[in-house]
């Protein structure tokens, strides 16, 4: 808990947080780690975090934006750390050095916590410590992480995930959410709220990555379904039924459902609801229609039905979405 009656003027003696530096460092991701754990906070008392950076490879090291880096220590500092943060990574296809994996495995084995921000999940996954567990990363990297590390269950919707002493976060800003949660676990809600206030951040954000997702459009091969998909998207308010869709494609109902699922990755009903919610997101962002009107325009009927499916697929209510992403 923070010391609210007096400020501590000495050097903190709390957990040692080490942020990894590499050539091509993700500047923002490193910056938020330094802001949360490296900023002097005398009001928190003697037990607050100690912070240092360490290079995982020989220099010169550069960060995005043209900065040159001067690390505090070399990779041996990992061996002393209580909390190790991987602030992003060079890329989904860039190999992780085995020497780094060995140090991280050894650190985890002696009780250290491992934390990743955004693409840093690829580093933690490379250690094998996430095998059989669940991790998250930025939604744009989720498919690549899943493909490279099939033994890891990739959650593309959460802002952060905790798998024992391994903690992963989604996009860059979601790293702040995770770091504040770590402060909450270590020092309590009052300390977390204090850090969040200085960052001008909410101490806890509702919803997950789903509110930011761009739904991928499957590559359309020559398919009898393509004209139907275009028709549905052009008239989502129509009361589309499975028999009607199957008849439009001149297929039996069973064949239609099977081929539709193969082509789109979802059964017809689920696909249709997702398309309607996606259309609702666009209308909410425009700010030109009320929720009641949008429900009818996208074919979800009632506002309650829209709210139900919107919260289920996006993670927040239509009202919250409009407040965050509305143009006016």
Residue pLDDT, tens place only, 275-306: 899 899 889 888 889 999 999 999 999 999 99
Enter the CATH code of domain 226-325: 1.10.10.60
Query: Mind listing the pLDDT tens digit for each residue in 27-46?
Result: 999 999 999 999 889 888 88
Whether 5 shows a pLDDT value over 80: the answer reads no
**Whole-angstrom distance, CA of residue 14 vs CA of residue 49:** 5
- pTM greater than the 0.85 cutoff: no
Nearest alpha carbon to residue 88 among 17, 182, 20? 20
**Whole-angstrom distance, CA of residue 118 vs CA of residue 77:** 23
**Whole-angstrom distance, CA of residue 126 vs CA of residue 89:** 12
Write out the residue limits of the CATH 1.10.10.60 domain(s) in the chain: 226-325
Helix (H) or strand (E) holding 54: strand 50-55
**Whole-angstrom distance, CA of residue 272 vs CA of residue 264:** 11
Query: Mind listing the pLDDT tens digit for each residue in 46-102?
Result: 899 999 999 999 989 999 998 899 999 999 999 999 999 999 999 999 999 999 999
Which residues are bridge partners to 18 per DSSP?
A: 52, 84
**Whole-angstrom distance, CA of residue 151 vs CA of residue 164:** 16
**Whole-angstrom distance, CA of residue 293 vs CA of residue 71:** 56
Whether 315 shows a pLDDT value over 90: the answer reads no
Write out the residue limits of the CATH 3.40.50.880 domain(s) in the chain: 16-211
Class of domain 16-211: alpha beta
| 253 CA to centre of own chain | 38
Q: Tokens 């393509």, residue?
A: 226
| Concatenated DSSP letters of 264-322 | HSS-HHHHHHHHHHHHHHHHHHHT-S-HHHHHHHTT--SHHHHHHHHHHHHSS-HHHHH
Whether 211 shows a pLDDT value over 50: the answer reads no
- The whole-number average pLDDT for the span 158-164 is 86
Higher pLDDT, 117 or 327: 117
- Pairing verdict, β 67-69 and 61-63: antiparallel
Confidence of residue 326 (pLDDT cuts 50, 70, 90): low
**Whole-angstrom distance, CA of residue 186 vs CA of residue 290:** 43
pLDDT of residue 255: 93
**Whole-angstrom distance, CA of residue 299 vs CA of residue 108:** 51
Token code pair at residue 145 = 């992480």
Which residues are bridge partners to 246 per DSSP?
A: none
Cα distances (Å, whole numbers) of residue 76 to 53, 73, 99, 218, 250: 11, 7, 11, 46, 67
């Amino acid at each position: 808990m923070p010391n609210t009656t007096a400020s501590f003027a000495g050097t903190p003696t709390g957990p040692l947080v080490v942020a990894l530096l590499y050539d091509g460092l993700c500047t923002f991701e490193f910056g938020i780690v330094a802001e949360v754990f490296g900023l002097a906070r005398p009001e928190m008392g003697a037990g607050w975090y100690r912070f240092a950076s360490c290079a995982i490879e020989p220099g010169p090291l550069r960060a995005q934006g043209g900065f040159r880096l001067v690390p505090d220590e070399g990779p041996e500092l990992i061996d002393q750390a209580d909390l190790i943060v991987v602030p992003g990574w060079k890329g989904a296809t860039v190999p992780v050095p085995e020497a780094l994996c060995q140090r991280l495995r050894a650190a985890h084995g002696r009780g250290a916590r491992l934390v990743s921000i955004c693409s840093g999940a690829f580093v933690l996954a490379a250690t094998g410590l996430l095998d059989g567990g669940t991790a998250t990363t930025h939604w744009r990297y989720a498919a690549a992480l899943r493909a490279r590390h099939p033994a890891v269950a990739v959650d593309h919707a959460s802002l952060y995930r905790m798998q024992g002493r391994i903690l992963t976060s989604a996009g860059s800003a979601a790293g702040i959410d995770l770091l504040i949660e770590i402060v909450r676990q270590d020092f309590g809600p009052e300390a977390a709220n204090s850090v969040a206030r200085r960052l001008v951040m909410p101490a806890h954000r509702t919803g997950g990555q789903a509110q930011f997702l761009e739904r991928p459009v499957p590559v359309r091969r020559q398919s009898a379904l393509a004209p139907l998909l275009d028709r549905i998207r052009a008239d989502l308010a129509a009361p589309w039924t499975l028999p009607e869709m199957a008849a439009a494609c001149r297929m039996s109902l069973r064949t239609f459902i099977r081929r539709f699922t193969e082509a789109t990755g979802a059964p017809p009903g689920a696909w249709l609801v997702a398309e309607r919610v996606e259309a609702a997101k666009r209308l909410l962002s425009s700010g030109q229609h009320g929720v009641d009107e949008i429900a009818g325009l996208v074919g979800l009927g009632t506002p309650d039905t829209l709210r139900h499916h919107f919260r289920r697929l996006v993670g927040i209510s239509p009202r919250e979405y409009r407040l965050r992403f509305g143009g006016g």
